[in-house]
Structure 1
Amino acid sequence: MSTLYEVRGSSAVITLNNPPVNGLGLATRQAIVAAIERAEADPVVTAVVMTGAGAAFSGGADIKEFGSPKAMSEPNLPSVVALVEACSKPVVAAVHSVCMGGGLELALSCHYRVVAAGTKVALPEVKLGLLPGAGGTQRLPRALGVEAALNLIVSGEIVAAELLAQVPGQKLFDRVVAGEVLEAALAFAAEVAAQRPLPRVRDLPATHANPEAFFQFARNMVAAQSRNFPAPLRCLEAVAAAVNLPFEQGLRAEREGFAALMITPESKALRHAFVAERAASKIADLPPGTPLREIRQVAVIGAGTMGSGIAMNFLNAGLPVVLVESQAEALERGLARIRGAYEAQLSKGKLKQDKLDARLALLRGSLSYADIAEADLVIEAVFEDLDVKRQVFEQIDAAAKPGAILASNTSTLDINTIAGFTRRPQDVLGLHFFSPAQVMKLLEVVRGAATGHDVLATAMALAKKIRKTAVVAGVCDGFIGNRMIEQYARQAGFLLDEGCSPEQVDRAAEAFGFAMGPFRMNDLAGNDISWAIRKRRAIERPEQRYSQSADRLCERGRFGQKTQAGWYDYRPGRREALPSPEVAALLAEHRAALGLQPRQIRDEEIVERLVLALVNEGARLLEEGIAQRASDIDMVYLSGYGFPLWRGGPMCYADSLGLFNVLQAMKRLARNPMDDAAFWEPAPLLQRLVAQGKSFNG
């Protein structure tokens, strides 16, 4: 039942009941209308109290209805809001826990609002590329004040109710209570039952002492901070309409803005990402209710940059960690790296001393595998070499207790082979963190052929605890992210051979929206890492073609920022990438040795080759079952590889181009004699989707 109705004394209590956050789906909206009409018709009822069941008043729109006809079917949310506001009996919102989006708009339509301290309040629509569409941009400035409302609407950030209650002159909340909010709201309803006329937020003024100057200043600020995202400026203009227009005209301006944003590619991409993040946690063949293994203590093998960062994730979540190294000096460096990272947060005001002390108290260093005996999870983070992994996993297998989960942080190696180094392959999986591990959101959870259901389910639950976006990947060389990025990097190398400079390729990629172009990215990660992978590829897959320019670079010791020389030059203590005359000469010599004349290459071709390389390899991953769904691939690239959020990920971007056009572009690229024609043969899945008139993301 989506809404509960009862009469308590002379008040009707309407309880939204649509778990988990009382989303305002069609059934809930219909039930609200029926309940209000019932209260209106009952002569015993003198007031109405509206609240939410469970752990929310309302989180707003029901995400299950996103993109479906139900989302705007009547009664839509604006109609419900208007009905509540027009009720002839006072309606008191008993707000608690979570009041966001349409939930806050519904509360604003009530005549009074009693709120529990600690309630999280937000209008987060801007984060979906939208603006509040049920009067939020018109009512909130009247209830909270123009400046505070604009900040809340444009940022989409969550604010505690008691902070909003402190805004001078606010009429958003009539009372803030520390105890049981429903009882307080019922008592309040009894007080105001006879009051007439009923107060309506729409009747309050939305004024500012100097609106023209204020909104112009705000436009400049918002435009500078929201490049590539149209919603923040649209939100601002809707709030300006609340000040400059009568209420009904302001509502029309809001609806026009909402409708315009709904069809933008940016909003479609943001809504896709929102749904994709939630879908990533769903694993098709994982039985519901799969039991989880308890994780009370973690061991990390390897105290390098990656191992130290991985350890911090668990320390931050309140889990004890033993950090194991083979050399005392390396261990001390790792422990010092963790202390230094926390002290840097302390100096910036991002961490308090008691939190720092508590986290470091959970950390223990060791030079002995015997100290992992009580760990429930052991994560290996050592050098990316299969022989090294064998030695480490044989020792882990001997020392770890039965039932412990054994994980590898490998970025490319075969998890099934690694599991074979143990006597318990069912307990082994990959947990591929991204550098810096304590910062990057992405966690690839690599499922081996023997990985147990409970091990996989535990890993996914643990990812939430350490605040990672987890995506399940099957076993292949590079899993999802690195297998795809290799094709991206191969195209970047071919572009150098054909006439591009590293800075031109990076500029084009960054103008498209990547956080960092391929050559700056390699300089940051270390060119020697990809060099080692290419050497392995030369043995395992000798048919795979690469530009040799990157090998020539590494032969000169230009490994990137750590050597102050890579594709770019770097100054000591600075990360600014400076064009390198030595690299320009190296590339010219390389082209001459190949007998190649450089040609002028447009930025559009650079972007097309880089991005469609990701798309074609992504389609192959889906075909092979390495990725469960196209949106999982998008989440990998949005949360781990700096793909522009407003484009929704590579597969979503391909859908926006139209897969027929993507297919034609790949056929054209295959005709370039300097490229790899075999790679540009479109993946079978892509060809099938085009033939069926479908898209990757449905």
Structure 2
Amino acid sequence: MTALKFELGADGIALLSIAVTGRPMNVLTPELLAELAQAVERIAGDAAIKGAILTSGKPGAFVAGADLKDLVTAFDRGIDAVEASKASTEISALFRRLETSGKPYAAAINGLALGGGLELCLACHYRVLADDAKTVIGLPEVQVGLLPGAGGTQRLPRLIGIPNALPLLLQGKQVKPAEALKLGIVHALAPAAEVVAKAREWLLATPSAEQPWDKKNYRIPGGAGPMAAHASQTFIAGNALTSANTNGNYPAPPAILSCVYEGTQLPFDTGLRIESKYFGKLLAGAVARNLIRTLFVNKGAAEKLASRPQGVAKSKVAKLGVLGAGMMGAGVAHVSAQAGIEVVLLDASLEQAEKGKAGIAALQGKDLAKGRTTQEKIDTLLARIRPTADYADLAGCDLIVEAVFEKRELKAEVTAKAEAVIPATATFGSNTSTLPITGLAQASKRPAQFIGIHFFSPVEKMPLVELIVGKETSQETIAKALDYVAQIRKTPIIVRDFPGFFTSRVFGTFTQEGLRMLLDGIAPALIENAAKLAGFPVGPLAVSDEVTLSLQQSIFKQQDADGLDDKYRGRIGRPVIDKMVDELKRPGRRFGAGFYDYPEGGGKQLWPGLAQAFPVKAEQPEVEVLKQRFLSIMALETARCFEEGVVVNPIDADLGSILGIGYPAWTGGTLSYIDTLGAKDFVAQCQQLAQDWGERFAPSPWLLARAAGGERFYALAQAA
């Protein structure tokens, strides 16, 4: 056996140690499942074997679940729901055979057990979990558009009751050992080194080889079905809450509710068949493919620096200089210090620099109040940050992140001052969202070592970093920037230097489309709600208020001064911006008034005067049309970026659109949205929108040619 080690002790207890070769963590590969099936039959057929212990041969982790890299191809292979359900029925049958084989099984869970790993444990008759702070167990399948397909929706509710099980199933909530014991998911806790001994102790005492749900007259704790005391809360209210949270874009939560509701009222084996049926529908669907591919497979590859240039030695930032201690600069200093990096936080005055550090301390204080950190850790973190106004303190920095105001002259000034002090080998990164990197690099004596490092606000929470490659940026500089992003545990994407780069350019189409809708006479509340129903976290009017309308106006004016080509300007909503700022004096949230009112007591509400400022037409479009406008204009702009070489990898486009600018995750990202619809249907949708709402929706000849040839963005990536 290559994935499962079988050892039979003199006491008649078989120890099955899972150690999948070639994987850093155990997953349920076909090889492992085949070997487990052989072991189960061997144990069942050998009278000398009293029972078995399942554990992991890899310290710190039991089994992480199914191999999602195998499941992600189901939709693209065109398999139907019936065929897709086989992935569930086969594993369920194996686990069912294990628990009904007549021999007792104990799970010695010596580390995290997630998804299929926990489902395997639930099929065992006894579970002892490592009592370690790093250990968690859970069923996170919902987060990748699936449901637990190896008995999880049936065993967990029968074990701990439906009200306790649903949060773990619907939210993918992971629990630590103490909570797992309290809920009754496991029978005992023990130090990791003792879980096998504890499991053996149970097997040598008076073990039962029968699960509770297989015993006569068994009843689910708290009851099941419509007459259960909890039914109105768990199923009626739960279904309404699920619908409100998913807006019909994520099919997994309602499928989980259906599995639990239907399956727990029927015999256990029938419940397993119901689970497999729903699992097949999800696996054969596009949403699961999109979520798995972008937010698991591709995100993981990006964080492992799959795009890192070859042949460049690994680097590590020991000392970082941050120019500008405002919100963005302080955020960069914060996450860097958390990663163990010494930080010099520089601003025009020591007072301003210290104010930036004080803001970091305040954020840490909030974490302390919530029990997320300790004072000792806070003190250590803050000790790494040195506020200053003296450029000489930048001596010895490996990397500079410039985060001053978006003014070329100011950025040029601080670049020159920093480069006069830092080592010749240091990398210089500019945190800019709009100013061309190649132009900013002209102020540098070492343009090959100059790169854009675009963080997103708030830096502490936003996972994405957009690296912008200028015309002279070297491969070594790209590699060093990627190493730094990995060091601070962010997700990097790489884009080329173009007006607006990628994220700002595509995000601009979202806000501009919302402003244009006001000019089209669409009700403001309908605009905001349509965006949320499509899956965007915030409506375009609220986002514009947060960015501030005055800032958007200043960008328009800068574009006028620069003579920027119209195709990069995205100014269909400019009349709205100019009217709000110049005439109505409502420049955004920071100033207390924008598209929304901001009462002193907190909260916000749409400004009633919008209907007068931008008259609403009597006849309003369907919500679906507005959703299409938002989704399509951003996807179309991404395709243009791909056509122009701003992004050369669809993975970067999809990760950037979801993690950086809030494109709905269910789509898989802007280019996955096109692939999911199919290029032909997407361009047809755009052509209809162009006819109804304007030429900005018209597909380019390049995109039309791709559609005619049936080309897919990810087919190109795989071929490459």
TM > 0.5: yes
Corresponding residue of 1:28: 32
Deviation at 1:263, TM superposition (A): 4.4
Q: Which residue of 1 aligns with 2:635?
A: 615
Distance 2:68 2:597 in 1: 48
Q: Find 1:551's aligned residue among 556, 574, 578.
A: 578
Aligned residue identity for 1:540? G
Partner in structure 1 of residue 547 of structure 2:
525
Picking from 713, 717, 720, the partner of 1:696 is 713
Structure 2: distance between partners of 1:190 and 1:176 = 16
Aligned partner of residue 494 in structure 2, secondary structure = strand
When residues 177 and 647 of structure 1 are mapped into structure 2, their CA distance, relative to the original with a 3 A threshold, is same
Distance 1:291 1:177, change over 3 A: farther
Structure 1: how far apart are the matches of 2:704 and 2:195? 58
Residue 598 of structure 1 and its aligned partner are, at CA, apart by 11
Q: Give the corresponding residue for 1:49.
A: 53
- C-alpha distance in 2, partners of 1:487/1:209? 51
- Whether the 8 Å CA contact 1:48–1:91 is kept in 2: the answer is yes
Change (3 A) 1:324 1:196: closer
Residue 540 (structure 1) aligns with: 563
CA 1:436–1:298 in structure 2 vs 1: closer, same or farther (change >3 Å)?
same
Is the CA contact 1:689–1:696 (under 8 Å) kept in the aligned structure 2? no
Question: How far 1:386 sits from its partner (Å)?
Answer: 1.9
2:590 to 531, 554, 562: 562
CA shift for structure 1 position 644:
2.7
Deviation readout 1:283-302 (Å, 9 max, x if unpaired): 66535685321223322110
Letter of the structure 1 residue corresponding to residue 646 of structure 2: I
Are positions 1:331 and 2:350 aligned together? no
2:98 aligned with 1:98: no
1:301-450 matched pairs, under 5 angstroms: 301-347=323-369, 350-450=372-472
Alignment of 1:525-674 (within 5 A): 525-538=547-560, 539-544=562-567, 546-547=571-572, 548-549=574-575, 550-556=577-583, 557-572=585-600, 574-579=602-607, 581=609, 587=614, 602-671=622-691
Whole-Å separation in 1 of the counterparts to 2:35 and 2:436: 53
Deviation at 1:264, TM superposition (A): 5.0
> How much is the aligned-residue C-alpha RMSD, in angstroms?
3.3
Query: What is the DSSP-based 3-state SS (H/G/I as helix, E as strand, rest coil) of the residue aligned with 2:392?
Result: helix
Q: What amino acid maps onto 2:545 in structure 1?
A: D
Pairwise mapping of residues 262-281 of structure 1 onto structure 2 (< 5 A)?
262-263=283-284, 266-274=287-295, 275-281=297-303
User: Given the superposition, is the C-alpha separation of residues 13 and 232 from structure 1 closer, same or farther in structure 2, using an over 3 Å criterion?
Assistant: same
Q: TM-score, normalised by structure 1?
A: 0.87
Distance 2:631 2:310 in 1: 37
Counterpart in 1 of 2:63? 58
Q: 1:625-670 CA distances to partner (integer Å, 9 max, x unpaired)?
A: 3324334323222222232333433333333433222212333344
Q: What CA distance in whole angstroms lies between the structure 2 residues aligned with 1:598 and 1:110?
A: 63
Corresponding position of 2:255: 234
CA distance in 2, matches of 1:36, 1:451: 58
In 2: Cα distance, 1:580 partner to 1:629 partner: 44
Specify the SS of the correspondent of 1:165: helix
Cα separation, 2, equivalents of 1:505 and 1:74? 41
Structure 1 residue 535, shift from structure 2 partner: 1.9
**1:113 to 1:345, Cα distance in 2 relative to 1, 3 A:** closer
Count of residues in Structure 1 that have an aligned counterpart in Structure 2: 682
Contact 1:222 1:232 in 2 (8 A): no
* Range with greater deviation from structure 2 (514-523 or 605-614): 605-614
Residues 5 and 35 of structure 1 are in contact (CA less than 8 Å); yes or no, is this contact kept in structure 2?
no
Which range moves more in the overlay, 432-441 or 235-244?
Answer: 235-244
Quote the offset at 1:104 in angstroms: 1.0
Decide whether aligned partners of structure 1 residues 406 and 261 sit closer, same or farther in structure 2, where only a CA change above 3 A counts. Answer: same
Partner of 1:594: none
Task: Tell me if structure 2 keeps the 8 A contact 1:499–1:601.
Answer: no
1:641 maps to a residue whose letter is I
**Matches of 1:531 and 1:413, distance apart in 2:** 15
User: Pick from 9, 13, 16: which aligns with 1:14?
Assistant: 16
- One-letter identity of the residue aligned with 2:423: K
For 1:139-218, list aligned pairs within 5 A: 139-167=155-183, 170=184, 172-181=185-194, 183-184=196-197, 187-188=200-201, 191=204, 198-200=209-211, 202-203=213-214, 205-209=218-222, 211=224, 212-218=228-234
| Aligned equivalents of 2:540, 2:479: Cα separation in 1 | 34
Task: Mark the runs of 5 or more structure 2 residues left unpaired by the alignment.
Answer: 75-82, 716-720
8 Å Cα contact 2:449-2:474 kept in structure 1: yes
- Residues 251-303 of structure 1 show CA distances to partners (whole Å, capped at 9, x for unaligned) of 22222332343345544443344334224346665356853212233221101
Change (3 A) 1:239 1:578: closer
Quick one: distance in 2 between partners of 1:285 and 1:210?
Answer: 52
Alignment partners' CA distance in 1, 2:517 and 2:351: 43
The verdict on how the C-alpha distance between 1:147 and 1:611 changes in structure 2, with shifts beyond 3 A counting, is: closer
| Partner Cα distance (2:520, 2:188) in 1 | 69
* Offset at residue 407 of structure 1 (A): 1.4
User: Relative to 1, partners in 2 of residues 1:613 and 1:2: Cα closer, same or farther, differing over 3 Å?
Assistant: farther
More displaced, 214-223 or 174-183? 174-183
Q: What is the deviation of 1:377?
A: 2.7
Residue 395 of structure 1, CA deviation:
1.7
Query: Residue 371 of structure 1 aligns to a residue in which SS?
Result: helix
Could you say what secondary structure the match of 2:401 adopts?
A: strand
Q: Tell me: CA distance 1:577–1:143, structure 2 relative to 1, closer, same or farther (3 Å).
A: closer
Letter paired with 1:191: L
Measured at CA, do residues 61 and 368 of structure 1 come closer, stay the same or move farther in structure 2, by a change above 3 Å? same
Q: Separation in 2 of the partners of 1:15 and 1:407?
A: 48
Task: Measure the CA separation in 2 of the matches of 1:294 and 1:283.
Answer: 14
Structure 1 SS opposite 2:646: coil
Question: Counterparts of 1:602 and 1:75 in 2: how far apart (Å)?
Answer: 41
Partner of 1:251: 272
User: Does the 8 Å CA contact 1:14/1:50 hold for their aligned counterparts?
Assistant: yes
- The whole-number CA distance in structure 2 between the counterparts of 1:20 and 1:607 is 41
Closer, same or farther: CA 335–43 of 1 in aligned 2, 3 Å = same
The TM-score with structure 2 as length reference comes to 0.85
Deviation string 1:29-64 (CA, Å, 9 cap, x unpaired) is 122223434555667755433322324211111021
Q: Is the 8 A contact 2:346 2:353 kept in 1?
A: yes
Could you tell me the percent identity over the aligned residues? 31
- The 2-side partners of 1:12 and 1:210 are apart by 36
Secondary structure of 2:230's aligned partner: helix
Q: Taking structure 1 as reference, are residues 534 and 128 closer, same or farther at Cα in structure 2, changes over 3 Å only?
A: same
The reply to whether residue 128 of structure 1 matches residue 178 of structure 2 is: no
| Kept after mapping to 2: 8 A contact 1:292/1:455 | no
Separation in 2, partners of 1:628, 1:278: 19
Counterpart residue identity of residue 69, structure 2: K
1:474-513 alignment, distance < 5 Å: 474-500=496-522, 502-513=524-535
Cα distance in 2, alignment partners of residues 659 and 396 from structure 1: 48
**Does the Cα contact within 8 Å between 2:65 and 2:117 map onto a contact in 1?**
yes
* Structure 1 residues 357 and 26: alpha-carbon distance in aligned structure 2, compared to 1, 3 A threshold: same
Residues in 2 aligned to 1:343 and 1:48: alpha-carbon distance in whole angstroms: 49
Provide the rounded CA distance (Å) in 1 between the counterparts of 2:194 and 2:371: 34
**What displacement does 1:326 show?**
0.8
Instruction: Please say which of residues 134-143 and 610-619 is displaced more in the overlay.
Output: 134-143
Give the CA deviation at 1:409.
0.8
Displacement of 1:420 after TM fit? Answer: 3.9
CA distance in 1, matches of 2:88, 2:275: 18
Looking at structure 2, the residues matched to 506 and 75 of structure 1 have their Cα atoms a distance apart, in angstroms, of 43
Q: How many angstroms does 1:133 deviate by?
A: 1.1
Q: Which amino acid aligns with 1:249?
A: T
Unpaired runs of 5+ in structure 1? 592-596
Q: Quick check: 2:100–2:210 contact (8 Å CA) kept in 1?
A: no
Q: In 2, are the aligned partners of 1:77 and 1:102 still within 8 Å (CA)?
A: no
Residue 173 of structure 2 aligns with an amino acid whose one-letter code is E
